[in-house]
Structure 1
């Protein structure tokens, strides 16, 4: 009998214990993979917000680790555009608002100048004038055009979540706003958000002339030396400004750090529990097989080979659990992603790193458990 076949046989002849350990460890691996996939998806979706607009630099306030607390002068965008090497710049005000009559709270809200180049990158899937039904003369005067400061654009997921269409009315701070259009973005995060005119959001949040950050697009191609020159020129406009490349801006965001930290903290607890289960199984296995191990030693098996057999059993169990855990995590997140309660709020990102992470952790637990 081959050594590998012996390892499998040792696990199969104690099916209940092996199966329970497999389930416990697979649950732990699934928790880690699922949580880190959600955290990675959050970062990936946030990065897609800037990639969709080809943003190269994001300018925020120096020292504001939480991007929502950043505050810069929106008029700085015009001065930034005049810096050689800058193609265009636009201020964005980011706030969290609620649509209380629909029972939806904490909606990401973007304040953007509606004639800005940023609006060109959104795909308008439904516009108010497309859904409008012409009134007959007996119905009275034709419908009036909504006030420019009382219009809102909804992301496609948000619109589905609250059940409104283009042309409908939603209430924000008890004031009616006409849904001018429904948009789709490459970013899941933006698909669950809404867009208000910049001046309107500034008035609603008592931040006149303010913006959270300024998106900057550069002329390409550009060298690293030229990039650093532009960053220095932007920061020279005001010593409170901080200009960062898009990826660095997202990676250093407090919410991204907290999401990753919480995912790993919760996952570590799950892994600890799974590791204890594996340790218990292997400990019981060795204690029950002392006679068998003694016989193996008596017939000439070296200690290294006996230890290799125990490690092999533990790692085989862990690898099987990793495969099962990854499948469970993928299926669980697929169901969760389609749930109306969280649709548009999470966008799990299953990259190669998530799979490698699951199997590496499983092998580590297998070695520790053995």
Structure 2
């Protein structure tokens, strides 16, 4: 009988024992593959969920107080940017979209609604209302979400922040006077930023006309293409306009998100390693039991001239063959469970993804468990004395 045929015969001779070993290895494979399908795409899914539609960073004038304003949602500086820069920046490789935003403040407590710059002194801070000018199709770039009503559709309409609406006792359908111009409120919005939620948003053209800043914007909000690093893109834009434009990114929130994802990834690896440990123990116990049950058989093989190396090769070969069978079982279990959870919307917002790397990692785990699980039993079998083994009952 050929050596490989003997290995296969030994495996299927005791089906329950072999099945136990296969299950043990399959547990490890399923854990690595299943968790990998979820966590490998978790970072991208989380980033998309948190930044869907929102800009990645803002471009501001390089001159002015503190070199301009801040990240998307900030008030910007006194300096303005020629609106043609919006088109120029949108054409830079890696830029997904760019939108110009004009910001100012209005004192709505007096009859003339005097407009002023965004850095008004603290004496009249509480009476000032932030005014944002941005194209209606791009308000999500500035984290503006209409929660009641609709966005403005012409230059005579505005949306008002939730806090401002409460303070002014305004609602959808009311009119509001700004700089002696009457606007209809079409919606209530929220940003999560206290200052912006005390403000009013209108079309860019309207605010440019009110402030006599036609063709000018306070800042440009930029969103990078998928796969483009926002920090590198910000540096590239800044280098393209030295001493003219600068960029401001809000990285603290992303850093905290990445740290959280690192914890999640570490946790998934811990669960995978635990599953591998359990699988390895099951394989070792199974193979040791197999050696104990075949003590007399191994003694006969040693008596007819089988070397220790050949005995080790036989036991290890059986363990590796079991591992290859477990690869298929583990992949089916791991992928099947994740797909089932995804279908039932339990993994809402997460896009599971199976990759070649994950497949290779599953094969590696199975072979590792098979080899590690077979080493000691194989070594123990090879050390059996033929005389003692033949006397074993």
| TM-score of Structure 1 vs Structure 2, range by shorter chain | 0.5 to 0.7
Q: Which residue of 2 aligns with 1:200?
A: 189
Q: Which residue of 1 aligns with 2:89?
A: 86
Residues 72 and 288 of structure 1: CA distance in aligned 2, closer, same or farther (over 3 Å): same
Q: Which residue of 2 aligns with 1:362?
A: 366
Q: Any unmatched runs of 5+ in structure 2?
A: 59-69, 91-96, 101-133, 152-165, 173-185, 198-220, 375-393
CA contact (8 A) 1:86 1:216 kept: no
Larger RCO, structure (CA 8 Å, separation 6 or more): 1
CA distance in structure 2 between the aligned counterparts of 1:339 and 1:200, rounded to whole angstroms: 33
Secondary structure of 1:150's partner? Answer: strand
Q: How does 1:1-370 map to 2 (within 5 A)?
A: 1-46=1-46, 58-59=56-57, 72-75=71-74, 82=85, 86-87=89-90, 88-89=97-98, 115-117=136-138, 150-151=148-149, 200-202=189-191, 205-209=192-196, 215-217=222-224, 228-230=235-237, 241=249, 253-340=258-345, 342=346, 344-370=348-374
Residues 21 and 149 of structure 1: CA distance in aligned 2, closer, same or farther (over 3 Å): closer
State the TM-score, normalizing by the size of structure 2. Answer: 0.52
- CA-based RMSD of the aligned residues comes to 4.8
Q: Which residue of 2 aligns with 1:104?
A: none
CA distance in structure 1 between the aligned counterparts of 2:323 and 2:292, rounded to whole angstroms: 20
CA distance in structure 1 between the aligned counterparts of 2:82 and 2:324, rounded to whole angstroms: 54
CA distance in structure 1 between the aligned counterparts of 2:364 and 2:353, rounded to whole angstroms: 18
Q: Any unmatched runs of 5+ in structure 1?
A: 61-70, 92-112, 121-146, 154-174, 179-196
CA contact (8 A) 1:58 1:243 kept: no
CA drift at 1:16: 0.9
Greater alpha carbon shift after TM alignment, 81-90 vs 253-262:
81-90
Provide runs of 4+ in structure 1 moved above 4 Å.
46-53, 75-85, 116-120, 225-228, 231-240, 249-252
Secondary structure of 2:98's partner? Answer: strand
Structure with larger Rg: 2
User: Can you list the C-alpha shifts for 1:187-246, whole angstroms capped at 9, x where unaligned?
Assistant: xxxxxxxxxx998232xx344349xxx64348xx9xxx99854366799977974679xx
Secondary structure of 2:329's partner? Answer: helix
CA contact (8 A) 1:30 1:326 kept: yes
Residues 72 and 234 of structure 1: CA distance in aligned 2, closer, same or farther (over 3 Å): farther
Secondary structure of 2:34's partner? Answer: helix
CA drift at 1:35: 1.2
Residues 16 and 231 of structure 1: CA distance in aligned 2, closer, same or farther (over 3 Å): farther
CA distance in structure 2 between the aligned counterparts of 1:230 and 1:84, rounded to whole angstroms: 13
Q: How many pairs are equivalent?
A: 257
Q: Which residue of 1 aligns with 2:380?
A: none
